Each structure stands twice: as structure tokens, then as C-alpha cells.
Structure 1
Amino acid sequence: MADDPISIFDAWLREAEAGEPNDPNAMALATADANGRPSVRMVLLKGHDDRGFVFYTNRESRKAGELAENAHAALLFHWKSLRRQVRVEGPVSHVTDAESDAYFASRSRASQLGAWASEQSRPLDDRATFEDRYAQADTRFAGADVPRPPHWGGYRVTPEVIELWEDRPGRLHHRRLFTRTDTGWTEGLLYP
């Protein structure tokens, strides 16, 4: 029964990109702090391959702090219109500076400036403060490329477990559980 779950994910993601109305690459990212207190938020998948699933963020954000304390995470892709979901669990590491630089360079200028202006996850006294910080970044980099801030970069979740879930009539859903071993993937089924 064993297949490559990354190949199946690729096919499902292509179907989602063709049919989902908004952000087919959206995924819930669950982290926990050193005391095991969980936190979850939506982020965007910006790359994946056999090494794992990549997202980018401010490395001084709450999620980054939790990942520094507990370098494991869970991801959930839910494609409601396709009636499918994918769960991923595994350790998290930084992507290389070269990968972070390349992705940052591909972002819109507004997003690049926003990365400089935002103290992500920290309290904000007034929206005007953020807008002023954005204007200052725009002035600072006027007429030039916007470099990647030193506090901004990517993370890779290396999958140890991948569950592929498909909706079936009568709640008789189909759940395939893949577990990474030293020699590849093993597959089993889960009751719905």
C-alpha cells in the first residue's frame, strides 16, 4: 500500500491551486512553548520538497519564540472544496540565508517594507505608529532594493508523520498515515 506522501501532496496541492477560491497554500501552523502551551495561526506554504514544508516569518515573532523553545510543529492544510486535508508533524529548522534572501527578493516591495516596519506579535499602541514605521522604511530604501531584514527568514518543517484525509459519504472517511523511517515511508490506515 505504501506510496510517497510528498508526491500525493503535490498532486493534491495542484488540484487545490486549480479549484480553491483563495490561498490554496494556506496552512495552520501549530507550535507550543517550552511549557507545552499550544498556539496556532495561519501561514502560507512557500515551498516544499522531500526535505520539508517551508514558510517565512519574522524571527522575533511569537511563533518564532515558541519554535526556539520547542523546535517541533504541526501543519494542517484544509481544502474544503476538495473535501481533503493533510496533517504534517515534525521538527523545525531554519532554511539557509540564501533561501531566505531569494524568497524575500521575490516579494512585492510593499511586503518587503512591511517586514521592516512590523514588530510582529508585539503590542501596537496605535495603527498610525505602524504606518509611520512603514513610511520611514519606504524613505530609507527609496530608489534602492529592499534587503531582507536580519530578523526575517524561513523555517522548514521536516515531516516525520503525514496524514492524508479524504471525506467520504456517511462519515466513512479515508485516512492514510505515513510515518518516516530510516529507509523511507511506512503507511497505515486510521479509523475515521
Structure 2
Amino acid sequence: MPAPQPQPIGDGHDGSWSLVKMAQAGDMKAFGELFDRYFDMVFRFALVRMNGDRAQAEDIAQETFVRALRRIGSVTYQGRDIGAWFVTIARNLIFDHVKSSRYRLEHATDEIVEHSPATHGPEQQVLDGATNSELLRCIRKLNPDQQECITLRFLQGLSVAETAALMDRNEGAVKALQHRAVRRLAQLLPEGLR
């Protein structure tokens, strides 16, 4: 039985790995295209992890790409989208930030969860904000893997496959993790919000 052939670079990843190869050869326009494709995803990831602190999230997202540019020559294709590498850099930056500072968890929930377009009036906005705040408070009580899964799947809107790639797990493991996280959230949420 012949050994499986490696997947050609770029297949199934919208040509991102082709851009990586071009950037590794010194093409800054290709790196700029990677930046344009992945900055928002990295920013949203950092925004949730930094509890809605937009300035910190932007700093982390920008530093992620500075570090990625410095290390672009060392990244190799491993069967995953390059976005997973960017998110890993961001995750490490966030970990270092939280570990090295007297960082307090605070949420500006109106910056994280947009209000429904069906929101009617300021009273409903206040109720929506309180609900979002309670939901995010409960998400923070989940274990780190469950938090990451819920954040990627529901706050960032990624598919199971995209979440699996970013978390370096298979899709079945992500589905099981998501199921456990949702069940745990149901237990944590006050009865009126379930």
C-alpha cells in the first residue's frame, strides 16, 4: 500500500500557504495579503480573551503579525490553515500579558456582543446588555478549552472544522467539547436565561 502523498501547499486553504511561500521568499505584498485575510480573526480572538479591551486586543493582534513577519521563514505546512499559527502566536502573547501583569478581568460586553437588530429602545438594550454580561460571566467559569471552543464557535462564528484546526483537534473532539461546554453553561446560567 503506497504512503499517502502530502497535500499540495495551498489546497483547501484558499491559497494561504502559497502566500506564505511567497512571503518567505521576501514578497511583502504576499505578507500584506495574509495580514488582510487574518487580522480580523486574530483581533476578535484577542478581544474576547482580553475581555473586551479593544486597545489591548489591537496591540496583541498587531504584535502577532510583527512576530509572524519575523518568524515567517520558520513556519512549515502541517496540514492546517496558517490562521492556526497566527492564533497560536496571539494566544502566547495573551498568556504572557496576563501572566506578567496584574491583569484584572473586566468586560465591556457591548463591545463584544453586538445587540440584535430587533432591539427596540433603550430598555431592551439594557436588558440585552445584562443578558450578554451574565452569559460572558458564565463562559469565564468554564475550563480554558471549553472557553476557547465557545469563543471560537459562537462569539467568532467559526465552523467546527475551523475551530478544530485552530485548536489542533479533530472535528469529533471539538463537537464533544462544545457539547460539554454548552451543557455546563446551561447549568451555570440563571434559570431565567436558559
Superposition TM-score tier, normalisation by shorter sequence: under 0.3
Using CA pairs below 8 Å that are at least 6 residues apart, which structure has the higher relative contact order?
1
Q: Which has the higher strand share?
A: 1
What's the TM-score once normalised by structure 1's chain length? 0.26
Q: TM-score, normalised by structure 2?
A: 0.26
Relative to its length, the structure with more helix (as a share) is 2
